[in-house]
Amino acid sequence: MALPVAFFALFFAWPVAAIVARGLRMDGAWHLGRIADVVAQPDIRHVLWFTTWQALASTALTLLLALPAGYVFARLDFPGKQVLRAVVTVPFVLPTVVAGSAFLALVGRGGLLDELWGVRLDTTVWAILLAHVFFNFAVVVRTVGGLWAQLDPRQEEAARMLGASPLTAWRKVTLPALAPAVAAAALMVFLFTFTSFGVVQILGGPTFSTLEVEIYRQTSEVFDLSTAAVLTLVQFAAVGAVLAVHAWTVRRRETALRLVDPGATARRPRGAGQWALLASVLATVALLLVLPLAVLVSRSLDAPGLGYYRALTRADGGTFLVAPVHAVWTSLQYAVAATGIAVVIGGLAAAALARRDAGRLVRGFDALLMLPLGVSAVTVGFGFLIALDEPPLDLRQSWLLVPLAQALVGAPFVVRTMLPVLRAVDVRLREAAAVLGASPWRVWREVDLPLVRRALLVAAGFAFAVSLGEFGATVFIARPDNPTLPVAVARLLSRPGDLNYGQAMALSTILMVVCAAALLLLERLRTDRTGEF
C-alpha cells in the first residue's frame, strides 16, 4: 500500500487541497461561511438536483442496455466477436466534446432523426441520457462480462438439474456471483455521469447544467474561484458518500468463486432465445454506438481528396506550434507511460485490498481510490499547476506531468477490474501452495497470476484507452508544442471555419482508429490459444 498511498497523496490529495485552499482562503483568513452561502442559492440547488437524478437515471439505463451485451460477450461465440468488442470500447475514449457533437448530429436540428421522422431530442434530457449510455456501455460490458466469462457455468447447470427454471438459476446462482462486478460497474458509470461535462455542455445547452459544468463556468467565465472551490467540496463530499456505501455493500457480498478458462465458457448460440438476444444486442450496438462513430468518419471525409487529413500535416503557426498530426505520436507516448504507472499503482493496491486479513484502514482506501473519477478534472488540472510548481516537485516543464494526470484516472480502472477476480480466488489454493513450501512470490506467480492475467490485460487496455481520451485535466497542463489528441481536437473546434472543424473530425477519426487497433490487439493477446489467462 505504500506506493499507491504516496502516489495519490502527492498527485491527487495535494493538488486538490491546494486549489480549494486558494479559493476559500482570502486575505490570510478562511471564509468557511462561504460554503453555506453558495449551497443556499436556488440555482446551485437546482444544479445539485439535476446532477444527482440524471446520474442515477443514466446508470440505470446503461445497466439495462449493457448487461445483456455483457452476457453475449461472455457466454456466446460468434464471428467478429473480437472486433465488435473493440468497437464497443471505442466510444469510451473519444473526447467528450467530439462525441457530443457527433451525437448532436443524430438527435439535434438537422440530424438523422430530424430528417427521417422530424424528431429532435437535443432540447430534452433524453439526449443526455442516451449519450451517457454511448460513453459508458463498454464499462459494464467489460467489467461485468470479464468476470462473467470466468464463472463456471456448471454451477448454474446444476441448479437447473435440481429443478430451477433458467431465470431462477440465474437469479440465485449467477447474479450473486456477479454482484461485486455489477456494483463496481454501476459505481464507475455513476461517477462518470455525476461529473459529466462535455456531454451536458453540448447537449444540455443553457437548460441543463451539472456540477462539473458549473465549476468550469465559475472558473473560466465568471472567474469566481471561491464558488468553484465550494462546488468542488460539495462534489467531493457526495462522491465520498457514494464510495463509502459502495465499499460497505460490496464487502458484505464477497465470496470465493470457481473461476475457469473464459475460452471454455463461450458457445455458439442455441435456441431462438439466444439468437434473438444476440440480434437485439447487435442492433443496440449498431444504432447507439456505431452510428455516431460513422458520423465522425463521414464528416472527416467531406473535403475532396482527403483534404482535411492532408491539412493535419501542416503547422499554421497559430493554433499549434507543430503540425496537428504530431499529436498522434505524443498521445501514444503519454498513454503508454500512463498505462505503466496505472498498472503498477492499481495492481499493488488491488493486491493489498484483496487480502482477507486487510485491516479497516486498508479497506477504506478502496473507496478513496475512486475519488479521482468523482472530483472535477478542472480542479485537478488547476491543482497541478498550483501545487507542482516548487522544488522538489516542480514538474511544470516535465513531460511526466501529463502521464501522471492520466494515470490518476486510469489507476481506479485497474483496481476495479482486477479486484473482483483477486477476491474471487479461493484462499485455500494459496494456503496449499504455501504448505508445500512455495514462497509468497511463487504463490503469486503460480496461483494468482494465471487466474488474474486476463483481468490484468483488460485493466491495461482500459488504462490505455482512458489515457488516450483524457481531456479535463490534460487541457490545462499539456504543452503547446506537445498537445494530445483530445486537446488538439478541442483547439480546432474552438476556432471557426469548415477547415478547422474538418480537421477536428479527422483527428477524432484517427483517435478512434488508434484506439480500436490497440483494443483489437489486446483481444488477440488475452484470447491466446495457450489457454493461459
| 9 in Cβ contact with 393 (< 8 Å) | no
Instruction: Determine the pLDDT at residue 529.
Output: 39
**Cβ burial 69-97 (10 Å sphere, 16+ → b, else e):** bbbbbbbbeeeeebebbbbbbbbbbbbbb
CA distances from 143 to 116, 147, 156, 179, 392 (A): 36, 7, 20, 11, 38
**CA 460/CA 411 separation, integer angstroms:** 9
Instruction: Determine the pLDDT at residue 293.
Output: 82
Instruction: Determine the pLDDT at residue 62.
Output: 94
Instruction: Determine the pLDDT at residue 249.
Output: 62
| 103 in Cβ contact with 127 (< 8 Å) | yes
CA distances from 23 to 37, 99, 227, 256, 485 (A): 14, 32, 8, 47, 31
pLDDT in tens, the chain (533 residues): 889 989 988 888 888 888 778 777 766 666 667 777 788 888 888 888 999 999 999 999 999 999 999 888 888 888 888 778 878 877 876 767 777 777 777 776 666 677 777 766 766 788 889 889 998 898 888 888 877 777 777 777 787 788 777 778 777 777 787 887 888 888 888 888 888 877 887 777 677 888 888 887 787 777 777 788 888 888 878 877 777 776 666 555 555 555 555 555 667 777 788 888 889 999 999 988 888 888 878 878 888 878 888 888 877 655 667 778 888 888 889 999 999 999 999 988 888 887 766 666 666 677 677 778 767 777 787 788 778 877 777 777 788 888 998 898 888 888 878 887 887 777 778 778 888 888 888 887 787 777 787 788 878 887 887 788 787 778 778 877 788 888 888 778 777 777 887 888 888 888 778 777 776 676 665 554 333 32
**CA 145/CA 132 separation, integer angstroms:** 19
User: Quick one: cell of 278?
Assistant: 444476440
**For residue 513, which of 505, 198, 330 has the smallest C-alpha distance?**
505
**CA 436/CA 364 separation, integer angstroms:** 33
Task: Report the half-sphere exposure of 467 (CA within 13 A, side-chain side).
Answer: 34
Instruction: Determine the pLDDT at residue 530.
Output: 34
Instruction: Determine the pLDDT at residue 361.
Output: 67
Instruction: Determine the pLDDT at residue 262.
Output: 57
Beta pairing partners, 30: 25
Instruction: Determine the pLDDT at residue 526.
Output: 55
User: Quick one: cell of 107?
Assistant: 438527435
DSSP string, 396-414: TT-TTHHHHHHHHHHHHHH
Instruction: Determine the pLDDT at residue 531.
Output: 34
**DSSP structure class, residue 76:** B
Dihedral of alpha carbons 295, 513, 263, 255, sign: negative
| 512 in Cβ contact with 94 (< 8 Å) | yes
- Give the pTM: 0.75
Gap between the terminal Cα atoms of the chain:
25
Residues 6+ apart with CB under 8 A from 118: none
